[in-house]
A and B are shown apart, each in its own frame.
Chain A
Amino acid sequence: MTRTVRWRSVLSWAALLGLAVLAFGADHALSQATLVATYALAGLGVVVVVGQAGQIALGQAALVGLGAYTEALLVTAGVPSLLAIPAAAAIAAAGGALASLPARRLGGLYFGMSTLAFALIVEEALVRWEPVTRGAAGLAVPALQLAGQAVESPASQALVSAAALIGAMLLCTRLFDSRLGRAWRAVREDEAAADACGVDPVRAKLLAFVVGGALSGVAGALYAHWIGFISPDQFGLMFSFELLMLAFIGGAQRQAGAAWGALVIVAIPQAISVLRDALPGELARSAGLETVVFGAVIVAVVLLRPRGIAGGR
């Protein structure tokens, strides 16, 4: 990525934020920006696993959930946030490593199925382990504490999540350019050929899931603070597919794709609430409208822009 391109994308994001502030008011725009950045961070995990290493990950939300629950439980127990967030990343990375174990024997679709099974098991475990997770009733999460201050205002939340996202993106830029990043892309293009060239596919896939899990885990930890309440059903199959769709919409092989994809995912509910005001009564009140639009966006992107909006045709 050249310097001019990077400046251009910084400028376009700043312009977008400015427009949003004008349209929705500062607080609302900033809280939406927080969500976009947090989703993008979780989506970056998918970009690593799906876009770089070329694996089908159908259970990424479970790793976000592991991060969120670790953070919530540690912070409630009195552990400072600066220690809890790395712990959340570590637990989610460990979950990713566990989920990638079947990759020793499997490739492609079969492996994708095993990540799905893993996610469903994690979700059920969060529901059933009631003494710790309080089951389906969920957990309340206190505000994030940084340097003795509670991060509660929309502006500070947006700042923290943007900083986390930018840090993660810089890290990923380094990583994608490294030996490991090349190994991921080699495995993505042709696993057998990569193996023949001395790349260990099992190790590459394991590390992709560890890195992807850690990124998603940090996103989960932040998400838990921003939303203030977590329950197992937030991290179900639907969220996994949202993240997959986010990476796909943005162009799964590019980092910037995660941010553009997150923007679309967060914007859809907003667009729908605008749409509801414009549509005649009966149709606007229908409960299924949001689901239909979500599905239609996925179908349209897959058919019309198979490489995502950041990737050209």
Chain B
Amino acid sequence: MLAVVQVLISGVALGCVYGLVALSFVLIYKATETVSFMQGELLMLGAFTALGLHLGAGWPLAVAALAAVAGTALLAAAFERIALRHAVGRPHLVAVLLTFGLGLMLRGAVASVPAAAQETYRLPLALDVVQIGAVTLAGGQLLVIAATLLIAALLTLFFRATRAGLALRALSEDARIAALMGVPVARMHTLAWALGAGLAALAGLLLAPLTFIHLNMGLVALKAFPAAVLGGLTSLPGALVAGIFLGVVEALAGLMLPEGVKDVVPYALLMLGLLLFPAGFGAGRAGR
């Protein structure tokens, strides 16, 4: 029983990271109708930037982390200004290829740094295990869950109470009417990409205590994709909940099913979910 609780908690923690990456997909998709295939690379870049600033340049970890998130967001904003805005209103394939290409460039750039290409790192966080009753919990997992809750709260506040947040919501309802109502559409697209990239970088930092920082850590985004789609692709809470759900199911599958099944569970669930609920769980079985 205790083992199950611990596995559940670790599933929730990993699911939080899936959920955050899924959130970043959905944020970008809702605002710009483009699918980003570079969230995994942005996540990896964010984690490595924080690591480099902390270990290489000697910045305090908190400052390095903030700078990494801000830097990744700025980079994505620049990408949007230069390249990604040309994909708006064109077939999905254009955005898919464009973001994949940009992602490859980021990945290649990180791989060109010999220290990054060859080794795996841990963020030097002093995280103890926490004892609650008979259950032993890893501090890193609790940190991830707490941080995700905080981010979710901040995002809710942003989308409900700020002008930019409301403008983004109006934009995703109907871009044309939003533009007529005075929403600066182009600037909002840039903002959406910056926010999405910042979230991905944050997810990278939060993934660091759970696994390692390495060149392929962006593969986690492949698991966040099913989460985003299962959540309905246009629902922010849906993405987060679906991410946590996938994390838990994956952890339980690892506990109970033969080896290897765990890794395909998100994709099997994605296909099943798409067949039964073509527009995500939120829309019910009626579909589109």
Contacts and interface: CB of A to CB of B under 8 A. Distances in A.
B98 A288 contact: no
B100 interface: yes
A208 interface: no
Given A105-B278, A292-B112, A295-B103, A117 B97 contact: no
Contacts of B233: 109-110
Interface string A232-250: 0000010001001100100
Given A105-B275, A121-B267, A237-B222, A248 B101 contact: no
Given A108-B92, A288-B117, A118 B271 contact: yes
Nearest to A99: B271
Contacts of A118: 267, 271
A120 B226 CA distance: 12
A295 B101 contact: yes
Contact of B102 (A56, A288, A290, A295): A295
Given A105-B278, A295-B108, A298-B100, A113 B93 contact: no
B225 A113 contact: yes
**Interface majority SS (helix, strand, loop, mixed), chain A:** helix
Contact of A303 (B83, B109, B287): B83
Contact of B274 (A102, A237, A248, A297): A102
A292 B110 CA distance: 10
B8 interface: no
A302 B90 CA distance: 11
A129 to B, nearest CB: 10
A293 B96 CA distance: 18
Interface string A257-285: 00000000000000000000000000100
Contacts of B263: 124
Nearest to A113: B229
B260 interface: yes
B94 A306 contact: yes
A286 B112 contact: yes
A291 interface: yes
A27 B49 CA distance: 45
A215 interface: no
Contacts of A245: 97, 101
A124 B274 contact: no
B94 A302 contact: yes
A293 B229 CA distance: 31
Interface in B86-123: 86-87, 90, 92-94, 96-98, 100-112, 114, 117
A291 B44 CA distance: 15
Interface in B133-184: none
A154 to B, nearest CB: 30
A162 B274 CA distance: 40
A311 to B, nearest CB: 14
Interface residues of B, number: 44
A294 B104 CA distance: 7
Interface string B215-255: 00000001001100100010000000000000000000000
A288 B109 contact: yes
Contacts of A110: 229, 233, 274, 278-279
Nearest to A123: B264
Contacts of B268: 117, 121
Given A105-B278, A288-B110, A296 B97 contact: no
A32 interface: no
A114 B274 contact: yes
Nearest to B229: A113
A16 interface: no
Contacts of B229: 110, 113
B101 A288 contact: no
A127 B97 contact: no
A116 interface: yes
A128 B260 contact: yes
Interface string B255-284: 000011001100110110011001100000
B252 to A, nearest CB: 18
B118 to A, nearest CB: 9
Contacts of A290: 108
A303 B86 contact: yes
Contacts of A214: none
A298 B97 contact: yes
Given A113-B274, A295-B108, A303-B86, 10 more contacts: A113-B229, A117-B274, A244-B96, A245-B97, A248-B93, A252-B93, A291-B111, A295-B105, A299-B102, A306-B90
18 contacts: A50-B93, A105-B275, A106-B278, A109-B35, A109-B92, A114-B274, A117-B270, A117-B271, A121-B271, A245-B97, A289-B112, A292-B108, A294-B108, A295-B101, A295-B107, A298-B98, A299-B102, A303-B98
| 4 closest A-B pairs by CB | A295-B104, A298-B101, A291-B108, A288-B111
